[in-house]
Chains A and B, each alone.
Chain A
Amino acid sequence: MRRRLRFAAGAVVFAGLVVLAANGAEVSLAVLFAKLGNFTSYFYRILHLDNGQWVWTDFPEWFWGLKKWARLLSETVLISYVGTISGAVAAFGLNFLAARNVAPRPSLRAVVLRFLEFCRTVPGIVFALIFVIAFGLGPMAGVFAVMIHTAGALGKLYAEVVENIDMKPVEGVRATGANWLAGVRFAVVPQVMANFASYTLLRFEINVREASVMGFVGAGGIGQELLVAIRKFYYSDVSAILILIIALVFAIDIATGWVRHRFIGTEQLP
């Protein structure tokens, strides 16, 4: 009975919040239903060529810009790759200072934790917007944005991995009189490398998706081209680029899965 009441109360509060939010976001169901036809017709249109044929009747015409798009897609992959690697290196350097059981001193740990939190809470694209002004238009801004976000996200995950290690090897190494760095190098790192690597691969996957929109703010990759196609109503281009992005994400998904399987082993995956 009490559980029911609590459930009902929760439902009422939630419904109230939704109505409030609907007001705040200017949502009206009438508009949605009136425009729902637009949505289907939008998909109908992006699947048609200029001459009114379905797109799949003429592949060369549909993917007319394949060469350019392939170049931009590889740029997207490279942005996320370089960003992921450099972010992972930064996270690697910082996480040992942030893990409770290894951190050399609590005050430093608090600072590093806040810093990592800042890096991962501010969305990557906001950094990209700022970096575009600092570094100029182009993929460099995108790389730095991906890097900072990755450092924040991976730093936290790495630190959690380190907090779960077996402390006995660390004590053993420290007992020989080794300093902090040697303790980390010979007792902590060997235990965590596999997990670090698999988290990094996962992050790479996410970053490819993120890098695909960096171009929206001028930070390189396929995003710019997609933005132009959507804004200027080049319908068949939109579907072609979207399909290429989805295919790329799938391919990266499969490739990282293979690498993880082959080199890291499947045990204790997140």
Chain B
Amino acid sequence: MTRQLPIDPDALSKLARVYATPFSRRYAIPAVMITGFALFAFGLWYLDFSFWRTITGIRQFGWIVGLMMPPDSGNALPNYLSAMGETLSIALLGTSLAAVVALPVSLLAARNVIPSALLRFPTRRFFDSIRGVDTLIWALVWINVVGLGPFAGVLAIATSDFGAFGKLFSEVIETADRKPVEGVRAAGGSALHEIRFALLPQVLPVIAGQVLYFIESNTRSATIIGIVGAGGIGLQLAEQIRVLEWQHVSFLILMILVAVAVIDLVSKRLRFAIIGRPSSAEAH
């Protein structure tokens, strides 16, 4: 027979107190859930959602999808192909331009190059503010400056990528190994020598991988900046949607899907060739 140990209720309740989940933790998750749900409901009300409109909208959308089948370009295929070429050009040029401009500036935001926070912080915030503004907004601004057309698109992509690259590059530079830098310095090299012979060889492959990744994701952005008039296939797409040529619309969307898939494949191959493994930018 087992003998029951005497239990001291006082000690037990003390233990219970010690091991209990604190009040704040126990109610944190439900409180967050309830707040979140309330905000969601408020949002639905504030944005004029109604059951009826949703139903009619979905029915309408289904009807549109029906009209989209089968995808057909009519006789505008050459037009669309050249627009697609323009889109790819915009993505490539915009990204390269951004990379070229961002590399020197990103040095200013890297802790191991510029130890002084006085210069580093404003540079960082500057990158952040540029990134905070969507590519389409930059496209509108550049249209005002250089006029309608693909050139404005190139500059828009370049501007918004400049912000992203500045941040990414400076992070890459900060993770570079210090020893080569010290070696160059010990051999009597100047600050520029340090950057050229110790930092750049370390960071360039990683940066190249990131640039490739961005060319890929910019193909996606470049397909839409045409909507505001900055060149590329987006212009055709917006145009065809406006005139309700749904078969053309589905054809254009299909073209975008194929182009993105192809660029995806090519850039993945290239990235593997350059750095030998999936880059960290992939998580982006």
Residues of chain A having any CB pair with chain B under 8 Å:
14, 17-18, 20-28, 31-32, 35, 38-39, 42, 74-75, 78-79, 81-82, 85, 118, 121-123, 125-126, 129-131, 133-136, 138-140, 143-144, 209-210, 212-213, 216-217, 220, 226-227, 230-231, 233, 238, 242, 245-246, 249-250, 263, 270
Contact = CB atoms under 8 A, between A and B. Distances in A.
Given A134-B57, A217-B227, A25 B151 contact: yes
A78 B132 contact: no
A210 B132 CA distance: 10
B47 A140 contact: yes
Contacts of A230: 140-141, 144
Nearest to B153: A25
B133 A245 contact: yes
Contacts of B227: 125, 129, 216-217
B149 A26 contact: yes
A121 B140 contact: no
B144 A125 contact: no
A253 to B, nearest CB: 8
B39 A81 contact: yes
Contacts of A14: 96
Contact of A18 (B96, B149, B153): B96
B122 interface: no
A146 to B, nearest CB: 11
14 contacts: A14-B96, A21-B92, A26-B150, A27-B154, A28-B151, A42-B145, A82-B43, A82-B47, A121-B256, A121-B257, A135-B53, A213-B136, A217-B227, A250-B128
A81 B244 CA distance: 30
B154 A25 contact: yes
Given A38-B145, A216-B136, A227-B140, A78 B46 contact: yes
A1 B86 CA distance: 36
Nearest to A141: B57
Given A82-B47, A210-B134, A217-B227, A18 B93 contact: yes
B85 interface: yes
Nearest to A38: B145
Interface in B14-50: 28-29, 32, 36, 39-40, 42-44, 46-49
Contacts of A82: 40, 43-44, 47
Interface of B: 28-29, 32, 36, 39-40, 42-44, 46-49, 53-54, 57-58, 60-61, 64, 85-86, 88-90, 92-93, 96, 128-129, 132-134, 136-137, 140-142, 144-146, 149-151, 153-155, 220-221, 223-224, 227-228, 231, 237-238, 241, 244, 249, 253, 256-257, 260-261, 283
Given A17-B92, A39-B145, A135-B53, A118 B133 contact: no
A10 B86 CA distance: 22
A133 B241 CA distance: 9
A129 B244 CA distance: 11
A103 B31 CA distance: 32
B253 A20 contact: no
Contacts of A227: 140, 228
A128 B57 CA distance: 13
A126 B47 contact: no
Contacts of A231: 140
A123 B244 contact: no
Question: Lowest 5 A-B CB distances belong to which pairs?
Answer: A21-B89, A135-B57, A24-B89, A249-B132, A134-B61
Contact of B86 (A24, A133, A140): A24
Interface of A is mostly: helix
Nearest to B232: A25
B224 A81 contact: no
A231 B93 CA distance: 26
Given A22-B89, A22-B93, A78 B43 contact: yes
A23 B93 CA distance: 10
A246 B93 contact: no
Nearest to B46: A78
B145 A35 contact: yes
B32 A135 contact: no
A136 B54 CA distance: 10
A125 B228 CA distance: 11
A246 B29 CA distance: 30
A263 B32 contact: yes
Contact of A130 (B28, B29, B89, B241): B241
A167 to B, nearest CB: 23
A74 B39 CA distance: 12
